[in-house]
Amino acid sequence: MSIPFARVKELEKSYGKTVALASVSLDVGKGEMFGLIGPDGAGKTTLMRILSSLLDPDSGDCVVAGVSVSEDPAGIRRIIGYMPQRFSLYQDLTVGENLRFFADLFRVPRRERIKRTAMLLEFARLEPFVKRQAGRLSGGMKQKLALACALVHTPEFLILDEPTTGVDPVSRREFWSILKKLKETGVTILVSTPYMEEAELCDRVALMHKGRVLMTGVAKDIAQGFAGTVYSVACDDTVGLAVWLKGRLTPEQVRIVGTRVHVSLFGDTGRAIAGLEREAATAGFSIAMAEPVPAALEDAFVAMIAERERRHDAA
């Protein structure tokens, strides 16, 4: 990357005794789709709010397209479109009126507005409800309307804080295809998400924890950096086996993936899995051979965070 489009330099921010950001630095390239992942309280929202000039850092700075957040916050706001985690809609306005309101606010020309609105209502599956008051929508429909309002204009740099929480799988898929289209038109996107399969759709991701960036890179590389082995086990009672394994190991080492159970093991994993297989058989589970599979981003993420939390608890 030559000159980064957005550069976050040694940001620090504390709320009283709580350190939200402990020296965070990041570069985002022009036209890049950049994902932020990390457990609750990692500092993702604080970082996004500082980048959007809504919050002052204690120290450090952000520069976006040559504009410094600390020197020219108004300039930053012209470049950035920010959608907070809890976006407020006008509850007493209808779906259509909310979209119109935000389009006017961002001075979207009429023709563009009509085109955009139609596309966004389709993704959100809200066309049949344009006349319904926002306050009467379901939780996920509100979230989708908020997303539509945030996307009604095209900022150069789009910052989205957990945009798909509460959104159903069909709409999530459509939402990400819209993001991809925006990216193709040159928009730079910074997005946080608790869904690891969404993070995998980003060009790069940063994994944050307790106010620090633990790792930055392509999702696939982070997954490959997983320190153990993931074993995939087939069993006709996947749930029973998963619950049993969680009791034998720790809950974070086990997950169900479709018709199989994936177990993350560390150290002498060959021996560990053989031992588990024997014990599971004794416990009455009929399981087929466990086979190693490539780790997914989720496996690496969970292992890394759980490790850190344990170290923190022990300290």
Partner 1 sequence: MTQPDAGNETNARGKKASGHDYAVTVRDLTRMFGEFVAVDNVSFDVKRGEIFGFLGANGAGKTTTIKMLTGLLRPTSGTGTVDGLDISNDRRAIKSRIGYMSQRFSLYDDLKVEENLFFFGGVYGMDRDSVEARVSELDDMLSLSGLENRMTASLPPGHKQRLALACAILHRPPVLFLDEPTGGVDPVARRYFWDLISTIASDGTTVFVTTHYMDEAEYCHRLSIMHAGRIVEVDSPARIKEKHGMTSIQDVFIKLVDG
Ligand X SMILES: Nc1ncnc2c1ncn2[C@@H]1O[C@H](COP(=O)(O)OP(=O)(O)OP(=O)(O)O)[C@@H](O)[C@H]1O
Among 139, 267, 275, 294, interactor with Mg ion by CB under 5 A: 139
- E strands within 168-276? 188-192, 204-209, 212-217, 229-234, 254-257, 260-265
- Which positions from 119 through 138 interact with Mg ion, judged by CB under 5 A? 138
The set of residues, in sequence order, having a beta carbon less than 8 Å from that of 65 and lying 6+ positions away, is 5, 6, 79, 156, 157
Three-class DSSP category at 133: strand
> Does residue 251 bind partner 1 (CB under 8 A)?
yes
> Does residue 136 bind ligand X (CB under 6 A)?
yes
- Smallest distance, Å, CB 161 to partner 1? 10
- Smallest distance, Å, CB 129 to ligand X? 6
Among 20, 95, 137, 207, interactor with ligand X by CB under 6 A: 137
Nearest of 108, 172, 112 to residue 144 by alpha carbon = 172
Size of the site for ligand X (CB under 6 A): 7
Q: What dihedral angle (degrees, nearest 10) is formed by the CA atoms of 295, 299, 305, 311?
A: -70
> Does residue 96 bind ligand X (CB under 6 A)?
no
Are the CB atoms for 123 and 175 separated by under 8 Å? yes
Size of the site for partner 1 (CB under 8 A): 48
* Residues β-bridged to residue 13: 21
> Does residue 162 bind partner 1 (CB under 8 A)?
yes
- Fill in the amino acid letter for 310: R
> Does residue 181 bind partner 1 (CB under 8 A)?
no
Binding mask 104-133 for ligand X (x = CB under 6 A): ----------------------------x-
- List interacting residues with ligand X (CB under 6 A): 132, 136-141
